Every structure is written in C-alpha cells, then in structure tokens.
Chain A
Amino acid sequence: MASSANSNPVPKLYRSVIEDVINEVRELFLDEGVDEQVLMELKTLWENKLMQSKAVEGFHTEEQAALQAAAHQQAQQAQQATQQAQAQQVLLPPQQQVTSWQSTRPTVTSAPQQQVIVQDPKILQHMSATGMSAAATAATLALPTGVSPYHQLITSQGQILQFVRAANGAQYIIQPQQQMVLQQQVLPQMQPGGVQAPVIQQVLAPLQGGHPQQTGVIIQPQQIVLTGNKVQQNAQVMQMPGQPGQVQQIQQQVQQVQQAQGGAAPGPPQQQAKQQPPMMLQVDGAGDTSSEDEDEEEEEYDEDEDEDKDKDGGEDGQVEEEPLNSEDDVSDEEDQELFDTENVVVCQYDKIHRSKNKWKFHLKDGIMNLNGRDYVFSKAIGDAEW
C-alpha cells in the first residue's frame, strides 16, 4: 500500500484542473450562448488529446475501460449483439476463420430464423460502426464490383439465402444450419502489385436432413488485405439450406459472383498498372542541376549558401571525393531516447545563485516533460556547472 500512496500525482492533478476549468467556463459558455454540449465536447477533446499524448500514465484509462466494458455488456444482452460480437470475432482473426466459426456455432444455433434476416442490415451497420474506414464503407455501398451488397436468394424451399457484404468488401453468407462442411477455394492472386485476388470460400452443407433452425454463423475470408483505398478481396460465404437442390443453386450463385468479381478484379489492377508508368529514371550523372534550379526558385537563399559551402569544402578538402563526404555530422543525437520531445521544465524561480561557474537553482511549482512523460513538482533544487 505504501507504493500506491506514492503513486503518480499527475493524473489526479490534471483531472482536477480539467474539472475546475470546465466548471469555471460553463458560465462563460452560457453567457456567450454556446450550448453545454460544446463544453462537453471541449472536455472530451481535451481528455482524448491527453490520453493520446501518452505523457500521463493511467489518465482516465480506468474509467473509460469500465465504461466500455459496461457498454459491451449492455450490448451483449440483446440477442442481436451476440451475432454482432460473433461477426466481430470472425472479422478480427481472418486466419482463424475455421476455428472461430466452429467455436461460435453452439451459441449461434439458438438464433431463430427471423432474427437472422432482420439482423443482417444491423450487422452491416455495426460493422461499419466498428471503425471501418469511410472509404471502405463507401466502396461497399458503391458496389465497385457490380455486386449488390445484399443478395437474397429465395430457394425452392422458401428459405432465404443472404449475401451480406461487409465493409471490408468481404461477403458473408449466413449459414442456416449447424452441420457444415467447409470447403475453401483460394484463387491465385491476380497481380503482385498489391492487389489481392478474391478469396472465395465455398461452404457446402451436408446433404442430410435440414435443421429448422438457422445458424447465424458467418465465415470470414482467410485474407483480408486493404490495398490503399481499394478493397479487392471478396469472400463469399454461402448460406446452406441443407438441401441438395439448394446447394446447387448456391454453387451457381457463387460461380456467378466469382465471375463477376473475376471480371472486375483485373479491371482495377490494370488501371493501377496504367497509372504507374509515369515514373522516370534518371540515367545521367548525379551532378545535375535541374532539381536545384527548381528549388532555387523557391528558396534561393538557402540553396546558394549550401552550394557555396559545398564548393568550398570540395576545393579546400579532398578535391577528388564528392563534396558530400567532406563534412560529416558529428552529432551524438542518436544516443538520446527515441522520443523527439524536447525535455522542458516550466516553472517559477525562488532564487538563482551563481558563484564563479557554479550555479544553484531554487525552483517551484513546475511541470516537467522528460523523455515524453509528464512530472510535476512543488519545489526543485538543482546544481550545475557552466
């Protein structure tokens, strides 16, 4: 307990300052006619920046972790959230799709059929809300490959097969049955230029008797790679109705989508290739002045000085070698920590004393940022030789 009594006073201090400031300016905000919500936004922004800076340890992290845990628990109480959580689980570890699918099977079977249908758009929305980039969601909605995001195939049995297109461009199909046999087909990559080929997985249900309950299991593609703003991977997960006829229909559907995606996939990669050629190689020597001329137009002053210095060094020093080597850096900056922060102490002085070259500092009420972290003191005493 003694160690916790000496724990860092900085987070508490900062929190108290934030509270004080917010409370004091509330009146100012109201006088100006600014909404209270803006005040809360200010507080949130402030706290977030403090957390992001990592200069303070454990700042609000416990509170926020508790809030997030509570929010998660509330969400999980709804049945919809269970599927969403499974979707998230399936989304996050793409390489573990088989195991995650298997592990999520038992809980999913309890989901009634109707809820599966209704919850698909919500899964989509939830996926988009879980931090998928706006570009990815826009790409999804814009249907770059010409495949609609939400296919519904009504089979002869009256069951509805649903293609769900997630924000990643991966297509998920909700499986209606427990017993599944996974068959995965991985297409070779179309181009090495960073565009991932569509990875299509076929899930074939066993042809045994159908189960009335639908499982809301969602299968993930193995590889999800975002190339720039483009999402080229499409994974298809088929809903399995458990009937042989339906399986065939599903296979046909998959093939159709595969063809559509296969046709679409080479298109964008070719466009990418076309955009690449304009890069030029410089074949002539290193001493060209074309770029320097361009720079000189903007920063004549600096360029002239540098050129003069280089010429002088080249003439006086080694004439044979390039002037670049003649003035090597001698700095020892690499010994410092990786932090770029300049270590700063902001404080007030009680007394500064000097005797010959021996200085003594008596400081108070200071905030220090050392090696990226914040410290405070009420008194600081220091010695230094000049």
Chain B
Amino acid sequence: MAYQLYRNTTLGNSLQESLDELIQTQQITPQLALQVLLQFDKAINTALANRVRNRVNFKGSLNTYRFCDNVWTFVLNDVEFREVTDLVKVDKVKIVACDGKSSDYFSHSSLIIRPRLFLTQ
C-alpha cells in the first residue's frame, strides 16, 4: 500500500474535493471514492519516483522538529529553496516526510493535516 502522504497536495485535495462533490450528488459511493484515492496514491507515488528528475537545495533555520510513527515533521523559518533555474524564499515552511526506505503499513491518514470525512470508516 502506497503512502497516503500526497493526498494533502493541490493535486490530491482537488481530487478529494471532486470526489466529495460526486458523493454529495450521490453519483458515486464513498467506497468508490476511497478506491479512487487509493489508486491516486499508487499513481502519484509511481509518478514521483519515475517521472521526476530534478534536485532542489534548501537552507534555513529550524524552528521545530518532531519524529513520531516514523514520520518527521519540521518547521523551518526564512528558507531559501534553490533549484538550478530559480530561487524561492519563504518565511515559514512545514516539511512532512515519511520514511523513504520502506512503504508503510500504517495509513498515516491521521497525520495528514486536513482529514477527509470518508477516510474515517
């Protein structure tokens, strides 16, 4: 089972919102929506692993760190993200990182910032 980590991204949230709308109008069942999300997890994990090939460097100051359930959560301040092409500066950034070595058998859904209703079954 792939990480559900990426559900709280623009791509993942827009998918969840769309599924919510279809559930509201009763065009799909919540079970089906869950299946779609599981499929999304697989697809995004595969895509990131295989289709992305760029490096980013960043530098800043660490405000907080947390390690729980094999998930690191950092909050950094005054960070510069540098890619070959451009530079992005932010005052505050939160980094959530799952273990890259092993695929999870926890759902990690509780660690996602905005849990969805139909995940809690």
Are A365 and B49 in contact, CB atoms less than 8 angstroms apart? yes
Q: Tell me the interface secondary structure of chain B in the complex.
A: mixed
- Compute how far the CA of A335 lies from the CA of B49 in the bound complex, rounded to whole angstroms: 36
Q: How far is the CA of A14 from the CA of B52 in the complex (A)?
A: 11
In the assembled complex, A363 has its CB within 8 A of some CB on chain B: yes
Inter-subunit contact A370/B81 (CB<8 Å): yes
Interface centre among B10, B13, B96 (most CB of A within 10 A): B10
B47→A17 contact, CB < 8 A: yes
Query: Given the interface contacts A45-B18, A370-B93, does A379 sit within 8 Å of B56 by beta carbon?
Result: yes
Closest to A55 in B: B10
Contact with A along B57-83 (1 / 0, CB 8 A): 111111101000000101010010101
Chain A residues within an 8 Å CB radius of B56: 366, 368, 375, 377, 379-381
A345 in the interface (beta carbon within 8 A)? yes
Looking at the complex, which of A22-30, A98-106, A131-139, A193-201 is the stretch in contact with chain B?
Answer: A22-30
Complex formed: what's the CA distance from A381 to B80 in Å?
Answer: 12
Are A375 and B88 in touch, CB under 8 angstroms? yes
Whether, in the assembled complex, A348 has its beta carbon less than 8 Å from a beta carbon of chain B, the answer is yes
Given contacts A343-B93, A350-B100, contact A367 B59 (CB under 8 A): no
A20/B97 in contact, CB under 8 A: no
Which residues from chain B contact A369 at a C-beta distance below 8 Å?
A: 9-10
A6 contacts B55, CB within 8 Å? no
Q: A46-B14, A50-B14, A336-B91 are in contact. Are A382 and B22 (CB under 8 A)?
A: no
- With the chains together, A41 CA to B36 CA distance in Å? 14
A353 CB, min distance to chain B CBs, angstroms: 12
Taking the nearest CB of chain A, how far is it from the CB of B48, in angstroms?
A: 4
B88 near A344 with CB under 8 A, answer no
Closest 6 CB pairs of A and B: A348-B100, A49-B14, A45-B18, A349-B97, A384-B62, A386-B62
Contacts of A28 in B (CB 8 A): 32, 35-36, 39
Q: Which residue of B lies closest to A20 (CB)?
A: B43
Q: Is the CB of B53 within 8 A of A378?
A: yes
Give the distance to chain B from A327, nearest Cβ to Cβ, in Å: 23
Establish whether residues A56 and B10, one from each chain, have CB atoms under 8 Å apart when the complex forms: yes
- With known contacts A32-B29, A380-B57, A384-B62, A348–B99 Cβ distance under 8 A: yes
The yes or no answer to A153 lying at the interface (CB within 8 A) is no
Contacts of B93 in A (CB 8 A): 343-345, 370
Q: Number of contacting residues on A, CB 8 A?
A: 60
Residue of A nearest to B90 (CB): A343
CB closest residue in chain A, given B59:
A383
Q: Is the CB of B11 within 8 A of A385?
A: no
Q: Name the residue on A nearest B96 (C-beta).
A: A346
In A27-44, which residues have CB < 8 Å from any B CB? 28-29, 32, 34, 38, 41-42
Residues in B whose Cβ lies below 8 Å from that of A381:
55-58
Contacts A370-B81, A375-B56, A378-B52: A359 and B62 contacting too (C-beta < 8 A)?
A: yes
A377: contacting residue among B52, B72, B74, B100, CB under 8 A:
B52
Q: Determine if A259 is an interface residue (Cβ-Cβ < 8 Å).
A: no
Complex Cα distance A41/B26, Å?
13
Checking B52, B81, B96 against A13 with a beta-carbon cut-off of 8 angstroms, the contacting residue is: B52
| Cβ-based interface call for A316 (8 A) | no
Chain B residues, CB < 8 A from A336: 91-92
CA–CA, A222 to B84, complex, Å? 53
Q: Chain A residues near B91 (CB, 8 Å)? A: 335-336
Assess A380 versus B98: contact at CB under 8 Å? Given A25-B36, A34-B27, A367-B6.
no
Does A365 contact B81, Cβ atoms closer than 8 Å?
no
- Pick from B27, B28, B48: contact of A365, CB under 8 Å: B48
For B63, what are the chain A residues with a Cβ–Cβ distance below 8 Å? 386
Determine which of B3, B55, B96, B101 lies in contact with A378 in the assembled complex, contact meaning CB atoms within 8 Å: B55
**Known pairs A17-B47, A25-B39, A348-B5. 17 more at Cβ < 8 A?**
A9-B52, A13-B52, A24-B43, A32-B32, A46-B15, A56-B10, A342-B92, A343-B93, A343-B94, A346-B8, A365-B52, A367-B9, A369-B9, A374-B9, A377-B83, A383-B58, A385-B62
User: CA–CA, A361 to B52, complex, Å?
Assistant: 19
B65 touches A386 (CB 8 A): yes
B59 touches A349 (CB 8 A): no
Residues of B within 8 A of A366 (CB): 48, 56, 97
Q: List, in ascending order, chain A residues with CB within 8 A of B29's CB.
A: 32
Using Cβ atoms and an 8 Å threshold, which residues of chain A touch B9?
Answer: 344, 346, 367, 369, 374
**A9 to B100 CA separation, bound complex (whole angstroms):** 22
With both chains docked as a complex, state the minimum distance between the C-beta of B91 and any C-beta of chain A, in angstroms.
5
A375 CA to B55 CA, complexed, in Å? 11
**Residue among B22, B52, B85 with the most chain A CB within 10 A?**
B52
Q: Nearest Cβ distance between residue A265 and chain B, in whole angstroms? A: 40
